[in-house]
Amino acid sequence: MMKKSKQNFKGLFAASFAGVLFGIGLLISGMTNPAKVIGFLDVFGLWDPSLAFVMAGAISVGLVAFAIAKRSKTSLTGETINLPENKVIDTRLVLGSLIFGIGWGLVGICPGPSLVLLGQGNLNGFTFVSALILGFVIYEIIEINIQKY
Amino acid sequence: MSINWESFTPITGLQGGVVIGIAVTTLLLVNGRIAGISGIFGGLFNFQMQDRAWRIAFLFGLVVSPLIYGFFGELPQSAIDNNRYLLILAGLLVGIGTRFAGGCTSGHGVCGLSRLSLRSLVATCLFIFSGMATVYVTHHMLGR
């Protein structure tokens, strides 16, 4: 009982530490600035390729992490490592990605940076996150209705 | 295509990217979880979801990260669109789209590509393509 709760605490500490690091990485990279993200998407105007370098930096570390994860059975806190098994490229994936891209292109904000902007007390970030949550809820409602039929 | 050399920041981009990679590694190897923000956040609104604690812990860290960053340096400036209706429309599209796609820039773009998933490669190409098309329409056709 004691051991389990100690493990839980370690897990929660690690998760919040990962969240802080993730946000600091976004801030260092400049990706919390929507204008910079729009600059990356603006290939027909003055293009700012920085976002590609952020992805490259993150993926170079991620490749090692996932290579280790694929070989290990459990995580450091003894949890099973949850690697996605879905390999299907279907309408959901295609349409969902296209819809996400439109929203992303409209204002230059995606879910990670939106929460950092919220933490900075940015009012526009708050508006975006509120709508984002509403979008998540609408998705759940659509899912429940799809399953009915 | 012309490059905006004034705003191009490859070094801080790579540095920030590496820090994001370390965050992904921490959540993966300690918690056994994928650092996909839309899935972690959106999953909270699925009422059948059982494991909420680690999600809330991670999101809490993300939200307080600017406060911690602020101890060590000045927070970077950010220029966001001021149009409330556009922000709401964008938020809705991002929320619905990422959940149907099963991931966003972090889940598909960083984690998916890191584990060499073809599904994530397709998703990433599609949302970057539609993001670029949207910016083309709004900035070069509608002249925002």
Closest-CA distance, B74 to chain A, in angstroms, reads 10
Residue A1's pLDDT is: 41
ipTM: 0.96
Task: Examine the domain organization and report whether A3 and A51 are in the same domain.
Answer: yes
Task: Examine the domain organization and report whether A45 and A11 are in the same domain.
Answer: yes
CA atoms of B46 and B49, how far apart (whole Å): 5
Nearest-Å Rg of the Cα atoms of chain A is: 19
CA atoms of B31 and A12, how far apart (whole Å): 8
Nearest chain A residue to B21 by CA distance is A58
B3 beta partners: A47
Strands B2-3 and A46-47 come out as parallel
Task: Examine the domain organization and report whether A102 and A146 are in the same domain.
Answer: yes
Task: Examine the domain organization and report whether A112 and A46 are in the same domain.
Answer: no
Task: Examine the domain organization and report whether A94 and A71 are in the same domain.
Answer: no
In A, residues 94-113, which contact B (CB 8 Å cutoff)? 94-112
Chain A CB contacts of B81 below 8 Å? 34, 106-108, 124
Nearest chain A residue to B110 by CA distance is A59
Which of B29, B54, B79 is nearest residue A69 as measured by Cβ atoms?
Answer: B29
| Partner B contacted by A70 (CB < 8 A) | yes
Task: Examine the domain organization and report whether A11 and A37 are in the same domain.
Answer: yes
Domain ranges, ordered by start, for chain B = 10-141
| Partner A contacted by B49 (CB < 8 A) | no
The residues, ordered by sequence, that sit 6+ positions from B67 with a Cβ below 8 Å of its Cβ are: A119
CA atoms of A17 and A5, how far apart (whole Å): 18
Asked whether residue B98 carries a pLDDT value surpassing 50, the answer given is: yes
Tokens matching residue A123 = 């009012």
Q: By the 8 A CB rule, do A26 and B21 touch?
A: no
CA atoms of B142 and B40, how far apart (whole Å): 35
Contact A124 B2 (CB under 8 A): no
Task: Examine the domain organization and report whether A74 and A90 are in the same domain.
Answer: no
In B, residues 9-48, which contact A (CB 8 Å cutoff)? 9-10, 12-35, 37-38, 41-42, 44-47
List Cα–Cα distances, A29 to A69, B7, B12, B142, in angstroms.
Answer: 26, 12, 5, 30
Domain count, chain A: 2
Closest-CA distance, A147 to chain B, in angstroms, reads 14
Q: B83: alpha, beta or left, given left = phi > 0 and alpha = psi -120 to 50?
A: beta
Written as tens digits, the pLDDT of chain A (149 aa) is 445 676 688 899 999 999 999 999 999 999 999 999 999 999 999 999 999 999 999 999 999 999 999 998 888 888 888 888 888 999 999 999 999 999 999 999 999 999 999 999 999 999 999 999 999 999 999 999 987 77
CA atoms of A113 and A34, how far apart (whole Å): 8
Domain end among A41, A68, A83: A83
pTM of the model: 0.95
Task: Examine the domain organization and report whether A1 and A64 are in the same domain.
Answer: yes
Please state, for a pLDDT cut of 70, what percent of chain B lies above it: 99
List, as one string, the DSSP characters of A8-55: HHHHHHHHHHHHHHHHHHHHHHTTT-HHHHHHHH-TTSEE-THHHHHH
Q: Which amino acid is at A78?
A: G
Residues in chain A: 149
The CA-to-CA distance between both ends of chain B, in Å, stands at 20
Closest-CA distance, B116 to chain A, in angstroms, reads 8
CA atoms of B26 and B30, how far apart (whole Å): 6
Phi and psi angles of residue B5, each rounded to the nearest 5 degrees, phi first:
-65, -25
